[in-house]
A and B are shown apart, each in its own frame.
Chain A
Amino acid sequence: MWRWLHPYAKGEASYRLLGRWLPWLTGSAVLTMMVGLIWGLFYAPPDYQQGDSYRIIYIHVPAAIFSMGTYTAMAIAALIALVWQIRTAEWAIAAIAPVGAVLTFIALFTGAVWGKPMWGTWWEWDARLTSQLILLFLYLGVIALYHAFSDSRTGAKAAGILALVGVVNVPIIHYSVYWWNTLHQGATITKFEKPSMATSMLIPLLICLLGFALMTAAFICQRLRNEILRQELHRDWAQQELN
């Protein structure tokens, strides 16, 4: 069943595959992000309570959703790296972690900037904000552990274990607003019921979500290519690629 995947355990095959995806991902990411952000920031109607301030949602929500999404992807890569010991999966941990950390930081930062005018505070130690901050520390821990050992395989193993254990935090972030009372609002779109958002505001948000997904994938593709090349420098194909 998984036989078609086997060639990609080799660095070179993955490198070429990612190289084929990259231009498409980058192009569509730029296009959808531009459409989504311009629509959301300039043409979507203002909110009945928050006026124009709510527009930061078009950056805040996609960044927050994919900070958790990339973490899950990183944990899956860590599982594959630990159980099947495939080197490409180990490098994927290193490729994904900084992208996720930046998304988490963007979510926390835009949240603070949004919180000041609306709630009246930059930061409050409520369950949602605190668990998202822990996610940032988990990402930083994974990055630090990966580079903490002189032997890169040991580092990947240690980082993989932390990434796997930390996945427990992802459902906590999502359900924090239901399990405890918080200053942060409940879910607007990531729930099974109908989204609590007017269609004219929802469509640009969905486009932004798609744009952020494509952008995240493009960054990870590029970073993974770099990591593969860096780790396989001693091989002939990598030398040929560079010359």
Chain B
Amino acid sequence: MIPRRKKRLTWVISLIAGVAVAVSLILYALNQNIDLFYTPSEVLAGKGKDLTRPQVGQRIRVGGMVVEDSVRRDPQTLQVHFRVTDTGPEMTVLYTGILPDLFREGQGIVAQGILIEPDVLQATEVLAKHDEEYMPPELAEAMKGIKHVNPNAPDAYSEPAGDGDKQ
């Protein structure tokens, strides 16, 4: 390679390396702020090395799995409350409004709202998360024992709430 090109190549590579280092330092420093949500154990036990916990009254997002048999609905209004967990402790989420189609027990959700007690979130928005697995309903039933719920069926969500009310 002729020296002029070698010099230019060195410049270009050091430019990319410099930017890559700068960006990784920025992202590392912002690490906790880039997370979309707190998990329930981070809300209750603290997050990161210094175990910072969100304050009561703070506006946060909480993400976790909806605990089985924890969904309770008010039959008269759109009020609903349920518990979320990530393997560890559980939190209660209160919400008034229409839940997304994918919302069901055992499903991952992200709720945004105000922490009104250390473990209670008054949500203004509930979003459903889904994982990266895709399979036909028959296969899901055979492999995971999941009963297929057609999200388009009108009675798709009354069932888990109905189960919850009986207990």
B146 within 8 Å of A by Cβ? Answer: yes
Q: A119-B129, A124-B127 are in contact. Are A188 and B134 (CB under 8 A)?
A: yes
A185 within 8 Å of B by Cβ? Answer: yes
CB distance from A130 to the nearest CB of B (A): 9
Residues of B within 8 A of A110 (CB): none
A201 within 8 Å of B by Cβ? Answer: yes
B35 touches A181 (CB 8 A): yes
Tell me the complex Cα distance, A185–B39, Å.
Answer: 16
CB distance from B126 to the nearest CB of A (A): 7
Residues of B within 8 A of A148 (CB): none
Q: Which residue of A lies closest to B137 (CB)?
A: A48
* Chain-A contact segment, one of B9-17, B52-60, B66-74, B114-122: B9-17
Residues of A within 8 A of B15 (CB): 161, 164-165
Q: A165-B16, A198-B134 are in contact. Are A182 and B36 (CB under 8 A)?
A: yes
Residues of B within 8 A of A168 (CB): 16, 19-20, 23
Residues of B within 8 A of A144 (CB): none
Q: Which residue of A lies closest to B12 (CB)?
A: A82
CB distance from B111 to the nearest CB of A (A): 11
B36 touches A83 (CB 8 A): no
A121 within 8 Å of B by Cβ? Answer: yes
Tell me the complex Cα distance, A51–B36, Å.
Answer: 26
- Cβ 8 A contact of A186, one of B101, B131, B148: B131
* Chain A 59-103 residues near chain B, CB threshold 8 A: 79, 82-84
Tell me the complex Cα distance, A18–B35, Å.
Answer: 45
Residues of B within 8 A of A50 (CB): 102, 130, 134, 151
B76 within 8 Å of A by Cβ? Answer: no
Residues of B within 8 A of A84 (CB): 5
B16 touches A196 (CB 8 A): no
Total residues of chain B contacting the partner, CB 8 A: 44
Q: Which residue of A lies closest to B37 (CB)?
A: A181
CB distance from B66 to the nearest CB of A (A): 14
CB distance from A111 to the nearest CB of B (A): 13
A232 within 8 Å of B by Cβ? Answer: no
B19, B39, B101, B138 — most chain A CB neighbours (10 Å): B101
- Cβ 8 A contact of B12, one of A46, A79, A179: A79
A83 touches B135 (CB 8 A): no
Tell me the complex Cα distance, A124–B127, Å.
Answer: 10
What are 12 A-B pairs with beta-carbon distances under 8 A? A45-B136, A49-B102, A82-B8, A118-B101, A118-B102, A161-B15, A165-B19, A179-B27, A180-B31, A185-B130, A188-B133, A198-B139
Known: A51-B150, A119-B128. 16 other contacts (CB 8 A): A48-B136, A48-B140, A48-B148, A51-B151, A57-B134, A83-B5, A118-B128, A120-B100, A120-B101, A127-B36, A181-B37, A181-B63, A182-B36, A185-B132, A186-B131, A198-B135
